[in-house]
Amino acid sequence: ALLDLSGVHQVNGTWMGSTTLPCTYVPSEGFTQQTLSWSVERDSSTSTIFRRDDSGDHILLSRFRDRVSVPKHSPGDASLLIENLEIPDSGHYTCQVIWKSKNNNLVTKEVTTTVKVVKVPATKPVIRAGEAGLRLPAGASTSLTCVAGGSPPISYRWFRGTPGGKAVLLSSRAELAWHSLRPSDSGAYYCQAQGR
């Protein structure tokens, strides 16, 4: 049976977001995974980030502590999840798996992924209305939610009025909620999303 790792050549990660670097194989009878390691090459130096062996999981680079993980209970999945991406996380990441065969031969395979961490400005937000929609009876409760993409954190502000015209700031949260609508709540509202 041929053991082979599959991954991807490049992954673009969003600054302060999270990304998964795929590294998978089809488990094969007669071969047991001995060690799994992830290393990163940046500025022509290579360091091991993560190692899994008989003694457990070890995160060897302190700047990745509490930010990286590899699935525990899915055989054949050695993918690396990196959270709270920082710009210096850009680099070449190598997944290396060593298997032992029944007759004690070692088989080693590697796959390398280039990670590019980019800052993404906030997108134009979209407004999600509550399930009942935008026409509601007096006394009903409802909410409007502002949603934008981009590098977190994204801050939201809700206004009553029209952009560029007279407007009143109502909230600095993503959701604008009413517990009991009054006829005077009818009108135009807009939200603003701002990235760092």
- Residues 61 and 148 grouped into a single domain: no
Query: Residue 144: what pLDDT?
Result: 96
CB 38 within 8 A of CB 49: yes
Nearest one of 142, 156, 149, 148 to 186, comparing CA atoms: 142
Ordered per-residue pLDDT tens for the chain, 196 residues: 578 999 999 999 988 889 999 999 999 989 999 999 999 998 889 999 999 999 999 999 999 999 999 999 888 999 999 999 999 999 999 999 999 999 999 999 999 999 999 988 889 999 999 888 889 999 999 999 999 998 878 999 999 998 888 899 999 999 999 999 999 999 999 999 998 7
Residues 100, 26, single domain; the answer is: yes
Q: Which of 118, 144, 160 is the last residue of a domain?
A: 118
In this structure, are 104 and 23 located in the same domain? yes
Most distant CA pair in the chain: distance in Å? 80
What was the pLDDT predicted at 129? 92
**What was the pLDDT predicted at 1?**
52
Q: Are residues 29 and 81 in the same domain?
A: yes
**Distance, CA of 62 to CA of 67 (rounded, Å):** 10
For residues 40 and 80, state if they share a domain.
Answer: yes
Looking at the whole model, is its pTM more than 0.75?
no
Q: How many domains is the chain partitioned into structurally?
A: 2
Give the residue numbers spanning the domain of 177. Answer: 126-195
Query: Which of 93, 118, 143 delimits the end of a domain?
Result: 118
CA-nearest of 66, 94, 82 to 8 is 94
